Amino acid sequence: MIIIRLDRVMADRKISLNELAEKLGMTNVNLSNLKTGKMKGIRFETLDAICKVLDCQPGDLMEYKN
């Protein structure tokens, strides 16, 4: 199981969902679905953009649990 930790990284960076969505050019709904783990996948292009804006690594955003 992959757990999305986007909310934790956003809190650490003090950035809101609306602000991040705007910087990424994504809708709030799509970003919220990603944040809550409701999406089935993520494009590397999107992951790259999130990492650039939040100045983090992909491993900061996701965690694997058996």
The confidence score (pLDDT) of residue 65 equals: 93
H helices of 1-66, in order, are 6-13, 17-24, 28-35, 44-54, 58-61
Which secondary-structure segment (H or E) carries 64? strand 62-64
Phi, psi at 62, each rounded to 5°: -135, 150
Return the pLDDT at 6: 95
Of the candidates 59, 64, 65, the residue with the CA atom closest to the CA atom of residue 6: 59
Residue 51 CA to residue 59 CA, distance in Å, equals 10
Report whether 24 contacts 49 (CB < 8 A): yes
Q: Quick check: 58 pLDDT over 90?
A: yes
Mean pLDDT of 1-22: 95
Query: In the chain, what are the domains?
Result: 2-60 (1.10.260.40)
- Whether the predicted pLDDT of 10 surpasses 90: yes
Taking 90 as the threshold, does the pLDDT of residue 37 lie above it? no
What is the per-residue pLDDT for 40? 87
Question: Which pLDDT does position 22 carry in this prediction?
Answer: 96
